[in-house]
C-alpha cells in the first residue's frame, strides 16, 4: 500500500477517497533508470515500495480500458515542479538561519546554553549511532527478557510445589489431631498461625 509520492516537492499522500493513483517504479532496468533520471533526486535509489503519483504523468500515459487505471508499458513521468521545490528549500534554509541567529544568546547566558546542551547529550548517551547497533541492542534485550521469563516460570513452579507440600503436611497433622493420634496443640507449634487456625475441611478442598 503506497503512503506518499517519491517526487521531489510532491506532498501527495495515499487517500482512497481521492482519485489519484500511485505507480511503482518499473522493474525493467532501462525504464527504471529513465524514471530515476526524470525525478532528478540526488543519490535517489527507489525500492520496491517507492511510488510516483498520477500527477506526474500525462493523460496519454494511462490505459483506461480496464476497471483500474494502469500505466502503459512505455509511460514515463514528465510533469514535475522543480522550481517550487527549490524555492521552498531555500526559504526553509533562510528561515532556519534567521531563527538560529535570533535564538543565539550572548555573554554568560551563551555559556550556560552550551553547558546545558552538553548535559543533554550526556543524558541521552543511550542513543544509537546507526540502525545495526540498535538492532543488536534489541536482540540482546529480547534474549534477556526471555531468560527472565524462564526464571520467573521456574520460581512460580517452585512456589506451587512448596505450597502443595505445605497443604499436604497440614492435612496430615490435622488428621492426626482429629483421630487423637497426636496432641491437639501440635498444629499450633509446627504450623504457622495462618494455617493452624483453618479447619481441616478447607485444606481438603485445597488439596
Instruction: State the 10-residue block means of pLDDT for the chain, 207 residues long.
Output: 80 82 90 91 87 90 84 89 57 58 54 54 54 84 92 91 82 78 69 60 58
DSSP 8-state secondary structure symbol assigned to residue 180: T
Q: What is the pLDDT of residue 155?
A: 92
Residue whose C-alpha is closest to residue 57's, from 2, 20, 86 = 20
Q: How far is CA 141 from CA 28, 123, 171, in A?
A: 42, 20, 45
Q: What is the pLDDT of residues 3-36, one digit of tens each?
A: 788 888 888 888 878 888 888 899 999 999 999 9
Count Cβ atoms within 10 A of the Cβ of residue 57 and give its class: 0-12 exposed, 13-18 middle, 19 or more buried.
buried
Q: Which three cell numbers stand for residue 177?
A: 489431631
Q: What is the pLDDT of residues 81-90, one digit of tens each?
A: 766 555 555 5
Amino acid at each position: 500500500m503506497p503512503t506518499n509520492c517519491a517526487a521531489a516537492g510532491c506532498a501527495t499522500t495515499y487517500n482512497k477517497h481521492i482519485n489519484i493513483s500511485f505507480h511503482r517504479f518499473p522493474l525493467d532496468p532501462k525504464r527504471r533508470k529513465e524514471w530515476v533520471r526524470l525525478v532528478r533526486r540526488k543519490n535517489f535509489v527507489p525500492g520496491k515500495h517507492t511510488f510516483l503519483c498520477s500527477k506526474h504523468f500525462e493523460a496519454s500515459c494511462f490505459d483506461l480500458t480496464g476497471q483500474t487505471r494502469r500505466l502503459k508499458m512505455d509511460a514515463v513521468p514528465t510533469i514535475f515542479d522543480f522550481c517550487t521545490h527549490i524555492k521552498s528549500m531555500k526559504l526553509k534554509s533562510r528561515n532556519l538561519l534567521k531563527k538560529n541567529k535570533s535564538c543565539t544568546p550572548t555573554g554568560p547566558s551563551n555559556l550556560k546554553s552550551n553547558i546545558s546542551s552538553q548535559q543533554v547529550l550526556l543524558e541521552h548517551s543511550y542513543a544509537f549511532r546507526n540502525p545495526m547497533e540498535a538492532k543488536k541492542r534489541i536482540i540482546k534485550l529480547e534474549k534477556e527478557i526471555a531468560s527472565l521469563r524462564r526464571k520467573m516460570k521456574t520460581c512460580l513452579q517452585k512456589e506451587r510445589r512448596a505450597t502443595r507440600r505445605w497443604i499436604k503436611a497440614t492435612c496430615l497433622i490435622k488428621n492426626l489431631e482429629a483421630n487423637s493420634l497426636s496432641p491437639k496443640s501440635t498444629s499450633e507449634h509446627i504450623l504457622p498461625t495462618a494455617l493452624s487456625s483453618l479447619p481441616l475441611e478447607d485444606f481438603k478442598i485445597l488439596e
